Structure 1
Amino acid sequence: MTPRRTALTSMLALALGAGPLWAADMALVLTESGALLGAEPAHDARVRAYRDAGYDITEGFDLDRADLARLLEDFEAELEDADRLVIHLTGRMEQAGGVPVLLPREAEGESSTALLTSGVPLGLFLDFATQSPGQSFLALGRAAAPDAPGLTLSVPDGVVVMRGAPDTVSGLVTGAMIGAGLPPTAIDATAAGVVFEGDLSADLRLGRTGSTPAAPAPTPSPEPEPATPEAMEAALGLSVEQRREIQRNLTALGQNTRGIDGIFGPGTRAAIRAWEEEAGREADGYLTRREIDQLARDADAARAEQAARERADRDAWATAQGTDSVEAYRRYLDRYPRGIFARRAEERIAVLEAERADRQDWARAQDADTIAGYRRYLDAHPDGLFVERARERIVALGGDVESPRERADRETWAAAQSQDTIAAYSDYLDRYPRGMFAERAENRIEALRDASREEERAVERAREEERRQGLNIASILLIEARLALLGFNPGTVDGRIDDTARGAIRSFQDRNGLTVSGYLDNDTMQRLVGGR
């Protein structure tokens, strides 16, 4: 990829015509993506932040060594125009034979020789920074394994260096230092997870200052504005994983963040405001360290309460199964109408009530002890518990069990019941429009149509709730990984919800007593990603 350059200084010179040139705030922004997720959008966001603050930008994304060399040569030629200077490097940085280097796109090998041959010494960037002593800042967002050796830097006088994880460094620079105008001395490096080195001057500020002549008259430093909620949160330097944990905690408390992706978009901000309102806090949509800690405690309490409810749910179900009566299962449903086993309780009630009706009708047939009474029992319960005994009694009373037509009618009805579909019952009615089971077939068709309509409405509601979640690829990857971890096979974990993933979602919903739709509605998201 070729280097990109925004020459604001040149454009200003052309626009203003003859006259003295004003000094420029310059920024060099380089990113080597490697294994970083979302590296290019993050790079573009950094560039926009510097551009919006009035910096003359030199930028490069995934450059090879030749392109990087040409870009740095051009950048060095412009340094004499710099007033403030920021160099923001993101990507792979290694210690090679005592020399810290930035590795461009095609860098290969792990030996010191290979790293030195392909890398660019960080000392070069420190030399650039000495061109604007007291107003130079070097941000190093290093992508490295946790056990990677540290970088040894010799920071010149008048230069400030910040080192840390890529997303943490980027968030602090663009949010706290540029967006909020905070100096390095206002940032709690330990809490933020970064390291500062060099001349930590309170005068170093990276935010917009307006155009100033190259040799301005000294003016008193204005009193710093009170930190805004946005600036205070930015100063925490939250990593992507820390943001995901916050989103998981909000979800555990019933708030809809529209994804667990580590990005605080409109959905997450709305969820934070809703939680703040419920907690009686100022609902500004931004978090302090104290609020983050309180949120974690609230979420842990909610998870513990949910776990206790589930244990009580399972205990009540075990009690109902032990009794195995309609009354026991109804007591379970009264306590847990949307419990883990609600559907199974309803199904068992239907079976037990059918058996109860079967026994009651058989008792009436026995009391009458007539051929007509036993035939009524057989019509009502063609697959009943006492079918054989009813037929035997009809024969004993001198009657025929059934005619050939009645037998065919009964067999066709039994086949329709085994399939239990609208098509099967319609086929029965086509063959026996006035058959022994015609009324029951019509009633069953209507019941299945009602159930189908309700199921369609439930699926449509779930589909709409999933759409409102606004799930991005990162969120879907997390959901697929969570399903796989729980034993529900989503297929390839690729950030796409295909038929296999839909099947895994349906299985998860069925196992957890949720509405089975195959879509990620609010209840499913809370159960799936709200816990740990």
Structure 2
Amino acid sequence: MRFFCMALAIVLTWLSAPAQAKDLALVIDQQDHRRLPDLRQDSRMRTMLVALEEAGFDVTLAEDATVGELRAAAFALDAEAHADVDRIIVLVRGHLVTNGLQTWVLGQGSATPDRFDIGSKGLDLGLFDQSLQQAAGRAIIAIVDDPRPLSNLSDLTAGSANTPLGQGITGLTGDSAEVARSLDALLKDGTSTQQVSELEGGARLSGFISRTVTFTQPSTATEPSSDFGEIAYWSAVRDIGTPEALNAYLGRYPNGAFARDARRQLEARVQDREARVKAAETAMGLNRDRRRSIQRDLALIGYDPRGVDGVFGPATRRAIAAWQSDQGLETHGYLDRDQLGLLQDTALRRAAELEEEARRRREIEDARDRAFWQETGSRRTENGYRRYLRSFPDGIYADIAREEIAAIEEERRAELNAQEREAWEIAQNANDIEGYRQFLSAFPNGEFADVAKARIEELDRDSENQEAARRFTAIEQAVAGNTAARLLIERRLSDLGLKPGSIDGRFTKETRRALRRFQKARRLEVTGYVNQPTMVQLLLGR
């Protein structure tokens, strides 16, 4: 910013007469070839050339040109583009070949090329990038599909490469009718590239596509400024070319003669950044499983992607952007290789921390469990066993306590008179609130009265929890609905020593108990069902 202010201070002393920005066009039409098949004559090329001239473009035609003549035309365009230019169009028709990264248009007199001599037989269309970027936001490269593509190529292919365009450059691709239709729309007042991309029967658009930046300004556009100070300021801004410089101009001249151009160039830079960061993530070739792993890592370190499905939707992009912001990185919601490495390292460290925290909590909980068992269960009384189960229903000694209670009840049942024994068996078989109430009505002071009351309380709680259980089951089905996921969960619980029962993909009461113990040790919601936070932490040991 300091350099920018110094540059402006110097340039503001260079007050000069205003220069009118130019519109430039280069039309390359390679129809006739000496050593390759000729292209058929296409009158639309001449029609587009005339339309450009009528729209005020300074048009250069390179027709049936040699490679040397094509290079000379590209050099001349580059020289003019570095003066004050508003719009640039490069229109190309001819034999096009590509290696997947670059595209060449072949010169007249060239023979069939290969990857070793293509540089001497064709003009690399990438050479136009710097020229076109001088009119970022209003720069077009239009490629007319080869109607007679070459078929005897060995290590090159006919056509153009599908590679990202430079900053602020819009690509048009199609047959001559489609390109002509799109070009005609662009030359109309107030038309944006977004509108042209939606044009029925038009060319395919790529690169810079904007709904707000118009390629051709309406005829009522502001006349060039006669304020020499503003002109000099804008000249310095264009020379510096940074977003800070453009924003400084808009801050000083929000309604200035060049405000539209400043905003257009800023938007071009934004779109270029988006294309760049998207391309960096695409280059990593992330498959569905790697994307799921990234979503788990984000959730693990506290950035919720709203699902671990391998699909990077708006919620995942927001989670990535929030993480980038907290790391002091450029915030856009896309990952590159360096950021992915940093994210994975952060998640691994957090996973180790969570495992250690869970281990310590489990040790403390197990110590409390054993101490309470000594206080209650070791006395070998029914009341002691029941007290233990109320506090530690999934505890270390829970199975022992239930077995002892069952044995005590069996002994008591044997001592009952026949009438009470029959009533109790009926209540047990029904195992519902009404059945136990009927038993209490008949035997309010019977041997199993306290047990019946306890079962009524348990069933009441179960009834209240049924709706929650249905909800938890639906969530679990979405997160771990397939057998493979359930087997993985059971193995993980078994590796942790939580005794989930048989590893067969079926969640039994032992599995539910193991899940509750796992959730409790990690301070997750204790439900006994798998939800996304539980799944994320279960997979820490993946």
Q: Which has the larger radius of gyration?
A: 2
Band of TM-score, shorter chain: 0.3 to 0.5
